[in-house]
Homo-oligomer: A and B are copies of this chain.
Amino acid sequence: MLGKFQVRTDLALEAREICEETGHESIREENGRIRTGIKGQIHGVRVEENADEEREIYTTTVTIETENAAKTMGKPVGTYITLEAPNMSAPDENYHREISEELAKHLNHLISGRKESVLVVGLGNREVTPDALGPDVVNNLQITRHLIREYGRVPDGMEEAGEISAIVPGVMAQTGMETLEIIRGVVEETKPHLVIAIDALAARSTKRLNRTIQITDTGINPGSGVGNHRDAINEETLGVPVIAVGVPTVVDAATIVNDTMEELVAEMDRSRHFQMLGGTLGTLDYAEKQEIIHELISPSLNTMFVTPKDIDETVKYLSYTISEALNITLHNIWK
């Protein structure tokens, strides 16, 4: 869709923006704005937005309804709920609690009652800070499967607890195995009703890093954000429904360079410095510009990622927020 140079994003929100932009370039230029999410209409994609201005939590639900729309968006048919909150990674415990509860509400909706036995999978590499989100979430979960199996649901407050199990499969460089192989083995052995996979995602732009949580009932492609090809983790491959919870914590280095350069080219078309050129640059079409840009990007950038310098604190707060949301949903501990 984006030509030879594939800009990756794990966020349906961004996929939609990209589709709209590239499909409606004239509209973009009339407004003189670039890549700011002007709404177009993609057939088969339903979008609902909700802004809680007071608490600064913005929710977007993207529903991909048809296979055609799925093809256009590069994402499978399903529901993608995105929570955005500018202060999500600030050190404010009460605010994290509010986000946890909002997240729990949406999770509960997607789970729709299949809580009886749930396997939570913490994807990613615990040795690489921005990729440790999944393992860190698992670290703070209340694991109950073994207790319920041994003692039943008798103890106070356990009456409604789900049978929660969890695994941190590691990444291929550590295990020599596809993540899917490990999870499929565990699922076949322990037969959960539902899998919830937590993963650090790659965003397309830095503006969504560490302030966005995406929940989807379509599962995810682990590591798709960091360029390693692995098989999908979804109902088709596992045989049970898979809900994915992801937070963009990195941007591909090539993506950032690409984006800034696209802006440079666009700017040159317009800028005072280039007025005298009579818009000559405009004679190049989108694909030609992309080609120049792509040639200039060092191949080594494809093995690199970009992440904020305070990623340690950020991942700590985010993982805590998500594990709280899971604890609330799975154990029915609502306020």
What is A's interface to B at a CB cutoff of 8 Å? 91, 125, 127-129, 138, 142-147, 163-170, 172-178, 181-182, 184-190, 206-207, 226-228, 253, 256-257, 260-261, 263-264, 267-268, 271, 273-274, 276-277, 280, 284, 288, 292-293, 296-298, 300-301, 303-313
Contact = CB atoms under 8 A, between A and B. Distances in A.
A228 B150 CA distance: 13
Contacts of A284: 273
A176 B309 contact: no
Given A143-B175, A167-B170, A186-B185, A292 B273 contact: yes
A291 B184 CA distance: 49
B189 A182 contact: yes
Nearest to A157: B92
A303 B309 contact: yes
A143 B174 contact: yes
Contacts of A228: 309
B190 A185 contact: yes
A264 B261 contact: yes
Contact of A277 (B127, B169, B280, B310): B280
Q: Which of A173, A177, A182, A292 is packed against the most chain B CB atoms within 10 Å?
A: A177
Contacts of A304: 206, 256, 306-309
Given A145-B176, A176-B166, A263-B296, A187 B186 contact: no
Contacts of A260: 257, 260-261, 296-298
Given A91-B142, A206-B300, A303-B310, 17 more contacts: A128-B311, A143-B173, A143-B176, A165-B177, A167-B170, A181-B189, A182-B186, A182-B189, A185-B189, A186-B186, A206-B298, A253-B306, A260-B260, A261-B264, A273-B292, A305-B307, A306-B306
Contacts of A309: 128, 226-228, 303-305
Given A167-B170, A306-B306, A301 B186 contact: no
Nearest to A251: B304
A188 B264 CA distance: 52
A256 B310 contact: no
A216 to B, nearest CB: 24
A300 B181 CA distance: 38
A180 to B, nearest CB: 9
A293 B273 CA distance: 12
A169 B206 CA distance: 30
B296 A264 contact: yes
Contacts of A142: 91
Contact of A292 (B128, B271, B288, B311): B271
A296 B267 contact: yes
Q: Which of A138, A167, A168 is packed against the most chain B CB atoms within 10 Å?
A: A167
B175 A181 contact: no
Nearest to A140: B316
A164 B176 contact: yes
A147 B181 CA distance: 16
Q: Which of A129, A164, A184 is packed against the most chain B CB atoms within 10 Å?
A: A129
A312 B125 contact: yes
